[in-house]
Amino acid sequence: MKNKNKPQEPISIASIGEVSTIVGTGTELIGKLNAEKPIRIDGLFNGDIVSTDTVIVGETGKIKGTVKCKYLYVGGIVEGTVETSEKLEIAAGGYINGEIFSPNLVIDQGAGFDGTSRMMKSADGQDA
């Protein structure tokens, strides 16, 4: 049973559950990807990703293009525009070069970001 007095834990990759689509290491995919379940990029994706759920960019993953999703976890590289409705986390070793639009932004020590960021309202309408 969950303790209601305990502070909420941050979202972890382990808590995301089953990943429906994986672009594996050594794979290059060009185009547009639409998803309703969590996806993981460990290879190269060149194009646009639109997801109503989570996008994970693994340590060997790289995205060149636009990413629109609920939650984005970056352990690799993203070059382009990112828009999340809930949270963006750049993990240690992760890097984003471009524009960020998100209500919640976490940049871990050892992560990199070069570009502009704008804090947006969250999906529930709350100011960031």
Write a three-state SS string for 60-112. CCEEEEEEEEEEEEECCEEEEEEEEEEEEEECCCCEEEEEEEECCEEECCCCE
Which domain, by its residues, includes 77? 19-103
The answer to the question of residue 68 being in a domain is: yes
What pLDDT was estimated at residue 51? 96
Read off the pLDDT of each residue in 78-106 and give the average, rounded to a whole number.
97
The answer to the question of residue 124 being in a domain is: no
- How many domains does the structure of the chain reveal? 1
The answer to the question of residue 12 being in a domain is: no
The answer to the question of residue 115 being in a domain is: no
What pLDDT was estimated at residue 21? 75
The answer to the question of residue 27 being in a domain is: yes
pTM for the full model? 0.81
